[in-house]
Amino acid sequence: MTGKEKVLAALKSKGIKYIFGYTGGAIMPVFDEMEKQSELQFIMSRHEQGAAFMAQGISRGSLSTDNPQLGVCIATSGPGAMNLTTGVADAYMDSVPILAITGQVATGVIATDAFQESDIVGVMMPISKQTYMPLHADEVEPTIHEAHYVAVTGRGGPVLVDIPKDVQNQSVSKNYQFDVQNYQPTLPGYCYHPEPEREPLERAIRLLNKSERPLIFCGHGVIASRAGKLLQKFAEKSNIPIAFTLHGLSALPLDHSLSLGMMGMHGTVEANRAIVEADLLISFGMRFDDRVTGKLSEYAANADVIHVEIDPSEIDKNVPTTVAINADVRRTLQVLLEDPMLTCKPRRRWFDKIQTYRTVMAEEQQAEIDKGVGDTGKLLMKTIVSHLSQVTKGKDLIVPDVGQHQMMAARFYNYQTENSWFTSGGAGTMGVSLPMAIGVKLSRPDERVWSINGDGGFQMNIQELGTVMEHQIDIKMILLNNSYLGMVRQWQTLFFDGRYSGTPMLNPDYGLIAKAYGIPYLKVNKVKDITPALEKAIEQKGPILIEFVCDPTEVILPMIPSEGGFNDMIISRPKETASKKIKKGEK
């Protein structure tokens, strides 16, 4: 057997079904081998970045299924490998396990600036969990097994295996042996602590029982450890409200009576006000990112903090903890739920207070949604997302791109299905939605997947319409087209005196683009047409693109300005400035 055969053997033994990627000189041997087998399905992306996001889609989507899969992407050396980097960095920021396999120039010419050579191990090192370069065919199989292990254990992350072309073609040694069944990587220092320790747990329970105004934080770790239902039970049992991070959304139904919705920069008033007032934060699987905390010096000044987190380097990184529990969220919740010391308090005053926060923006927001159009008479994104939520009863899988529409999708879709929200949070990579939705759909073929895009991000990986066309991937693509880079425009409205520098977007005719790819297309201008269009998309077998003509002046509120505190929260739109600029600048 040769190195290239070992690559595929290792992937098959790990239960991999799909490989996303793009061929090229230095990876040709592996591709040649792929052609000889049928177990692994190769899906050609139109750009390597798309392949990395498709791989993420597989990992993220299958996380909550009975058969979690590691997303695999493959590319050639040099530019091919370099094109993977954004998708890999994105996976690193969001703790998503993926395996990136790249071809490398032959060992004899490495570091000679050979054709299509790049030091991809060096490039990927700071943006991945681990990088490998096997230098002999004998090393290929153990390397891929170790890479898989590192990617999926503890806090997940992307791993790179860079294989020189001669190693792919090289035969393994005569006495080569590898025990697939009993393989255990030798990594003496690599350990993670899934089990919570007793002592901090007891202190945590004492704080919980004592607290008058506690608040649970549901982070990505809840979804990653498949602990949504347990968290819900824990919240119900202890009668504590829950606020979600962007990545914590869809861990449990968003309209649960204890849910306060999303926290942070574009979080709800009730979630953010509750954080200010809380005397105890119990955070599960999150990292207190700056978009969550705002100004750190003012953050949760009145609260003790219990931090349950699998990655010890996140504990005390941004917010000092009172009790640190370095463990798996799921295991911690299991232990907490069984603990007889855990009590339930009515906390009426706390819930009354929260109820008053809930009403702050509720009426005007609902009025806006009902009206459905903004000052320009064009559609509001929040209305479209609300209609989508109603039409699908909040049960579908949502893959937004990055920007204003992403925050609308986070806020106005009523998530009911566990692990149904897939977004680029840490890196905030535009162009993620279309390729990631492809991966999510392949990982959950029986569920409906909506790729929600702005006109900026959609064009960043628009070439993946080719992949959709080729494999007739049944994703429903929504394009919220406001002819602007909406989020940056919003900042320009609020903080840059309405100077719209670099944000107006001259768009192509998306109907013609859809036609070129043979994808059905609808265009919606009126509120009354929103729901029928969405229903049409559901009836339609296979992919469809719906373009909604949106109001560029719409803003997502509330908003806590970058580096601002919760008291700086903006809850109403500065209408005059916005409308004045509209007359000057709009088409």
Partner 1 sequence: MMRRAILAFMLDRPGVLNKVSMLFRKKMYNVDTLTVCSSRIEGISRMTITLREDNIAKVTQVIKQLEKFTEIISVKELDTNKSYWREAAIVKLEVDADHLKTFKKRYNFEVLDQKSEETLIIQIAGSTTQIDTFLDEVGREYIIEIARTGVAAMEK
Q: Which pair of tokens denotes residue 334? A: 């299991």
User: What is the rounded CA–CA span in Å between residue 95 and residue 148?
Assistant: 14
122 is an interface residue for partner 1 by CB under 8 A: yes
Among 4, 6, 129, 148, binds partner 1 (CB under 8 A): 129
Candidate segments 170-178, 315-323, 466-474, 521-529, binder of partner 1 by CB under 8 A = 315-323
Buried-exposed string 178-201: b where 16+ CB fall within 10 A, e elsewhere: eeeeeeeeeeeeeeeebebeeebb
Q: What is the DSSP letter of 182?
A: T
C-alpha neighbours within 13 Å on the C-beta side of residue 258: 20
Shortest separation between residue 125's beta carbon and partner 1, angstroms: 6
Candidate segments 29-37, 125-133, 377-385, 421-429, binder of partner 1 by CB under 8 A = 125-133
346 is an interface residue for partner 1 by CB under 8 A: no
Q: Are 415 and 254 in contact (CB under 8 A)?
A: yes
127 is an interface residue for partner 1 by CB under 8 A: no
Instruction: For tokens 């569920």, name the residue.
Output: 447
User: What is the rounded CA–CA span in Å between residue 369 and residue 385?
Assistant: 9
Q: Are strands 158-164 and 449-454 parallel, antiparallel or unpaired?
A: unpaired
Q: Which pair of tokens denotes residue 222? A: 């809840």
Distance of CA 575 to the CA centre of its chain: 32
Active-site residue (options: 17, 44, 116, 298): 116
184 is an interface residue for partner 1 by CB under 8 A: no
Q: Does 317 participate in catalysis according to the annotation?
A: no
Among 131, 321, 386, 490, binds partner 1 (CB under 8 A): 131
340 is an interface residue for partner 1 by CB under 8 A: no
Among 44, 109, 121, 360, binds partner 1 (CB under 8 A): 121
Q: Is 505 helix (H, G, I), strand (E, B) or coil?
A: coil
Q: Are 96 and 59 in contact (CB under 8 A)?
A: yes
Q: Does 48 participate in catalysis according to the annotation?
A: yes
Active-site residue (options: 487, 492, 559, 569): 487
Shortest separation between residue 156's beta carbon and partner 1, angstroms: 13
Q: Are 209 and 341 in contact (CB under 8 A)?
A: yes
Subset of residues 190 to 209 that bind partner 1, contact rule: CB under 8 A:
190
Subset of residues 133 to 152 that bind partner 1, contact rule: CB under 8 A:
133, 150
- Give 125 or 571: the residue with its C-beta nearer to partner 1: 125
Q: Which pair of tokens denotes residue 583? A: 């007359």
Shortest separation between residue 511's beta carbon and partner 1, angstroms: 46
Q: Which residues on neighbouring strands pair with residue 307, listed in sequence order?
A: 283, 324
Q: Which amino acid is at 540?
A: Q
Among 316, 364, 370, 509, binds partner 1 (CB under 8 A): 316
Among 37, 115, 176, 187, binds partner 1 (CB under 8 A): 187
Among 188, 338, 340, 346, binds partner 1 (CB under 8 A): 188
Q: Does 115 participate in catalysis according to the annotation?
A: yes
Shortest separation between residue 52's beta carbon and partner 1, angstroms: 21
Preceding peptide of 185 cis, ω within 30°? no
Site residues, partner 1 (CB under 8 A): 121-122, 125-126, 129-131, 133, 150, 187-190, 311-313, 315-317
Give the catalytic positions in this structure: 48, 115-116, 165, 487
